[in-house]
Amino acid sequence: MSDQVAAATTSEQAASRAALMKLLFFAATLAILPISSYFFTEKYVWSGNSNYAAITAICAANIVLIAYIVVSLMEDKQSFKVAEEKKLSETKKER
């Protein structure tokens, strides 16, 4: 019984660490990607036209936002399946 409890807490720890890593990744990407894409595309892609570079940076920021929404939706579906499997295994044990 205590082994199962210990296993549950370590998997919970692993899940919370994975969530924290995901959040840190998205925070860093949102901070770094738009402004770096502005400077990079201004110099190499749009040959000095700063308005197009600004539009590129805005598109990059919105892509990060859409990626975050998609990742959070997929994680929700995964945790839903895990919760269902847990419930099934618990009802089997009770029998």
> Residue from 10, 36, 79, 89 that binds another protein (CB under 8 A)?
79
**Residue 33, token pair as written in the block:** 């990607």
Phi, psi angle pair for 53, to nearest 5°: -65, -40
Q: Which stretch binds another protein (CB under 8 A): 2-10, 33-41, 87-95?
A: 33-41
Q: Closest Cα partner for 35 from 25, 16, 50?
A: 50
**Is position 63 an interface residue for another protein (rule: CB under 8 A)?**
no
Show the binding pattern over residues 43-62: x = contacts another protein (CB under 8 A), - = does not. -------xx-xxx-xx--xx
- Closer to another protein by CB, 23 or 88: give it: 23
> Residue from 6, 28, 73, 88 that binds another protein (CB under 8 A)?
73
List C-alpha distances in Å: 76 to 50, 70, 73, 86. 39, 10, 5, 15
